[in-house]
Structure 1
Amino acid sequence: MFMLICLAMLLVLLAIIFFSNKRSFLSALLVLETIVLASLLISISLLWVWGNSLFLFVLLLTFGVCEAGMGLSLLLSYIKITGNAIISASCAM
């Protein structure tokens, strides 16, 4: 139970870091991937305690892979267009 509380606090902390990150797309993508990893660990812990099937884990893993692929393709497109991965004030709006 203590591990679940720690993972939930980590998830909240990572969400705060993600929403406060306004400079680089790459660091935002890394925080998003860490959030997906933390949610996978929480789902595995809950499934281990409850003894249910692995449907939730597979679903979260699928969403994580799709999010990573889309994020990297958007990052590469943005870098091709602008030449860097830094978010400027004109592009943020």
Structure 2
Amino acid sequence: MKTVSLLGVGVIGVMLGCICLVSQRKSLFGVLLSMEVFTLGVYAIIFSVFWILGELGSLCLVFLTFGVCEAALGLSVLVSLVRGVGSDYVSGLTSGHF
């Protein structure tokens, strides 16, 4: 019963992450946060499916590692953008200052 609720939380997280990702148009920080919600939702789905199957393999750990690497790369791009342009607005990327 707990795995079904974890699967539901994962599906809601994926849907919420997609909606936020589509609706963000100004701030790169908001895009990165919505991508993190999406990644955690997918991780919850993968974890609950492997829990139901009875095999908690290393795929969950590998996926979580890739999620952390994605977050670190996104944060480095955000810091580089803020240092170069002065804000995290996506409109600053199109002006050619980056």
Class of the TM-score when normalised by the shorter of the 2 chains: 0.7 to 0.9
SS in 2 for 1:79: helix
SS in 2 for 1:54: coil
Is residue 85 of structure 2 the alignment partner of residue 82 of structure 1? yes
* Deviation of the 1:6 alpha carbon: 4.7
Gaps of 5+ in 1: none
For residues 2 and 80 of structure 1, the distance between their equivalents in structure 2, rounded to whole angstroms, comes to 42
Given the alignment, which residue of 11, 24, 27 partners 2:27?
Answer: 24
Whether the aligned pair in 1 keeps the contact of 2:28 and 2:88 (CA below 8 Å) is yes
CA shift digits 1:45-90 (9 cap, x unpaired): 1111001132220121011011001000000001111001112176
Give the match for residue 35 of structure 1.
38
Runs of 4+ more than 6 Å apart: none
TM-score in terms of structure 1 length: 0.84
What pairs up with 1:39-50 in 2 under 5 angstroms?
39-50=42-53
Greater CA deviation, 17-26 or 71-80?
Answer: 17-26
- Taking a change above 3 Å as real, the CA distance of residues 37 and 24 of structure 1, as seen in their structure-2 partners, is same
Pairwise CA RMSD: 2.0
Whether the aligned pair in 1 keeps the contact of 2:10 and 2:43 (CA below 8 Å) is no
Identity %: 32
Kindly indicate whether structure 1 or structure 2 has the higher relative contact order, using CA contacts under 8 Å at least 6 residues apart. 1
